[in-house]
Amino acid sequence: MIAVPVSAPQRQCAAASSSYLERHGRPRRPVELHDHVCIGWRPRPDSAPYRWEFVETGRDFNVAVDPAVTTNDMGVMVRMACAGAGVTFGMVQTFQSYFDRGELVPLLEDFCPPFQGSYLYYPKRQRQPLKLRALVDYVCRSKPY
């Protein structure tokens, strides 16, 4: 298999509004999320809420929060967090404009190191189909990072 990077390294983090943090305090460690109102996300209605992933002293672990509400719509999740409804978790890239405007505050960043970004994987063959070759060439030329 050949792997072509299609994004820069990425990070996840927890996030909440300043108004939420004034009322409930700021979690200092991932385990403290159990004491907070959390806004969950799931990719499909028939799947479990996403487990929030962290790293501490080189060890990966996840926290299965008990969300007060769960959605499969990132926009709804972000709007609820901005409105002070709770702490949520997702990609820094999803939250960045809200951080920049002061609508959300990043949380637990020390427990959320960067990880490799997204890749396009395709089989290694001497003769690639022209459509695949065109896609790979386009992706390699269009890297936004």
Q: What is the pLDDT along the chain (145 residues), one digit of tens a residue?
A: 899 888 888 999 999 999 999 999 999 999 999 999 999 999 888 888 888 999 999 899 999 999 999 999 999 999 999 999 999 999 999 999 999 999 999 999 999 988 888 898 988 888 888 998 898 888 888 776 6
Class level of CATH domain 9-111: alpha beta
Is 73 strand, coil or helix?
A: coil
Output the CA torsion sign for 112, 101, 104, 89.
negative
- pLDDT number for residue 73: 93
CA 134/CA 45 separation, integer angstroms: 36
- pLDDT number for residue 100: 98
Q: Which residues contact 121 (CB under 8 A, 6 or more apart)?
A: 1, 2, 3, 4
- pLDDT number for residue 144: 64
- pLDDT number for residue 21: 99
- pLDDT number for residue 116: 87
CA 145/CA 127 separation, integer angstroms: 29
- pLDDT number for residue 145: 60
